[in-house]
Copies of this chain bind each other. A is one copy, B any other.
Amino acid sequence: MPAPTLRDVAEAAGVHAATASRALNPATRGLVNADTARRVMKVAEQLGYRPNPIARGLKTSKSGTVGIVIPDLTNPLFPPIVRGIEGVLEPAGYSGLIVNTDNDPGREKWQIDHLRSRQVEGLIVATARVEHPLMRQLHREGVVMVMVNRRPEGVDVPSITPDDAAGVELAVRHLAELGHTRIAHVAGPQSTSTGVSRARAFRAAVRDLGLDDDPALVTTTASWSESAGADGLRRLLDSGEEFTAIFAGNDLIALGCYDVFFERGIDCPGRISVVGFNDMPFLDKLRPPLTTIAIPHQQIGAEAARLLLDAIADPSRPARSVLLPLSLVVRGSTAPPVVL
Contact = CB atoms under 8 A, between A and B. Distances in A.
B97 A95 contact: yes
Contacts of A269: none
B74 A79 contact: yes
A74 B63 contact: no
Interface stretch (A30-38, A164-172, A209-217, A279-287): A279-287
A96 B74 CA distance: 16
A83 B100 contact: yes
A96 B86 CA distance: 14
A119 B83 contact: no
Interface residues of A, number: 40
A55 B53 contact: no
B86 A100 contact: yes
Taken together, the copies of this chain in the complex come to 2
A24 interface: no
Contact of A79 (B73, B118, B119, B255): B73
Interface in A96-143: 96-100, 113-114, 116-119
25 contacts: A52-B117, A53-B119, A54-B54, A54-B63, A54-B119, A73-B73, A73-B79, A73-B82, A74-B80, A74-B83, A76-B76, A76-B281, A79-B79, A82-B98, A86-B100, A95-B97, A95-B118, A96-B97, A96-B98, A97-B97, A226-B285, A280-B282, A285-B286, A286-B287, A287-B287
